[in-house]
Amino acid sequence: MNVLLLEDELELSAVACEQIEGRGHKVFSALDIAQAKAILNDDNVHIDIMIADQQVPDGNGSEFAIETKDMPDGIKVVVVSGMLNSEDIQQLKAHQVDYYNKPSLYSEIVEDLVKKHFPNS
């Protein structure tokens, strides 16, 4: 699977990439929404799963995840954050976007999504 990781904390991003790649997936890392959009719009890259942090320098990860989920490419999205409030959670549930609280093992999050959305992989 190709995974887009939207995480602005460099150390956490590095650990998450290592965990996900350790499970055999390819990771494309973005520090902000602008970089994530550039990756998504790259015709040479196909993303299967996007993991988004809630708070990134140029916006709201939950809103971006919902926007991305609704794109015709069928990207599966998840939000991982320690900053979700009840309104954020309601919005994610309304749009059927999975979420996890930090700290979490990113490798396990990806495996959960693969089992849920790509059962034949």
pLDDT of residue 90: 95
Rounded to whole angstroms, the Cα distance separating 89 from 31 reads 23
pLDDT at 121: 67
- Please check whether residue 12 lies inside any domain of the structure: yes
Question: pLDDT at position 36, please?
Answer: 98
Its pTM stands at 0.91
Per-residue confidence (pLDDT) for residue 104, from 0 to 100: 75
Residue 40 lies in a domain: yes
Domain holding 102: CATH number?
Answer: 3.40.50.2300
Q: Is residue 85 part of a domain?
A: yes
Give a yes or no: residue 82 inside a domain. Answer: yes
Residue 121, domain member (yes or no) = no
In terms of residue numbers, what domain contains 58?
Answer: 2-115
Q: What is the pLDDT of residue 89?
A: 93
Q: What is the per-residue pLDDT across 55-108, written as a single tens digit (0 to 9) for each? A: 999 999 999 999 999 887 889 999 998 888 899 999 999 999 999 887 778 888
In a domain, 98, yes or no: yes
What is the count of structural domains for the chain? Answer: 1
Q: What is the rounded average pLDDT of the residues 8-17? A: 93
Cβ within 8 Å of residue 76, ≥6 positions away = 48, 49, 50, 69, 113, 116, 117, 118
In a domain, residue 120? The reply is: no
Domain annotation covers residue 96 = yes
